[in-house]
Amino acid sequence: MNKSVEEILVFPTSLFKELGYFHGFSPDVERFIQPITDAARFVPRPPAEEDPSLKQIIPYVMIRHRDHIFRYKRTRRGEEERLHTKYSVGVGGHINPFDKFDLFAATKSVIEMGMEREVAEEVIIGIPYTAQCVGLLNDDSNDVGKVHFGIVYQLDVAEPKVEIRERGAFTQGSFVRADDLRRDFDFFETWSQILIESYVSKS
């Protein structure tokens, strides 16, 4: 196998259906997270992007300060062309094999370690924060959603001091009142739309 090909963490879509298929947002983390983690394996990314029999596990982190949510816009330089120019309230990405190996985080799952790495790669947070898994995302209405499965984390910061690190891929990062996110609702990626409607507006 070509060692330059990225490997990503996936689980069988059939398992998702066995556990209880849903469309949209689900707060039922306990039912899904452990079975999904137990069944997960690493596969080459290119074929997985076209294989709906596999769900790619994506930590999707919403950064919050009181009643404000961190929002940014994806540029045309990001890896996923299907999300270019869309607004988002979630930072995150694929989980890779090296996320398994952390001698100082033995009590953390590979998903938690992947989440923390993605946050560190995409944004700069210079103040204390707490993070908790609050739900799951699934959207089979489009080609992107059919092959991805979101693990939603809420990351609460003590102050609204967050900056974009990956400036080539992201722009216009700022905290917006949760109530104002609907103003540009049609310009958000579908996962963010689901999160705004099903979680942000109710929490």
User: 20-45: per-residue pLDDT in tens?
Assistant: 999 999 999 999 999 999 999 999 99
For residue 183, report the phi and psi dihedrals to the nearest 5 degrees.
-60, -40
For the record, the structure tokens of 201 come out as 């507006």
Looking at CATH, the fold of the domain delimited by 7-202 is given as Nucleoside Triphosphate Pyrophosphohydrolase (3.90.79)
- Other CB atoms closer than 10 Å to residue 200's CB: what's the count? 21
Q: Say if residues 33 and 74 touch (Cβ distance below 8 Å).
A: no
State the pLDDT confidence band at 8, using cuts at 50, 70 and 90.
very high
Owner of token pair 């690190």: 165
pLDDT of residue 74: 82
pLDDT of residue 79: 57
Report pTM. 0.90
User: 161-199: per-residue pLDDT in tens?
Assistant: 999 987 777 888 999 999 999 988 999 999 999 999 999
pLDDT of residue 88: 93
pLDDT of residue 102: 54
* Average pLDDT of the chain, as a whole number: 89
User: 43-100: per-residue pLDDT in tens?
Assistant: 999 999 999 999 999 999 999 999 999 999 988 555 555 555 789 999 999 999 987 7
pLDDT of 150 > 70? The answer is yes
The secondary structure element, H or E, covering residue 118 is helix 110-122
In the three-class reduction of DSSP (H, G, I as helix; E, B as strand; rest coil), residue 61 is classed as strand
Angle (CA) 89 47 134, round 5°: 30
User: 96-135: per-residue pLDDT in tens?
Assistant: 998 775 545 556 788 999 999 999 999 999 898 999 999 9
pLDDT of residue 172: 84
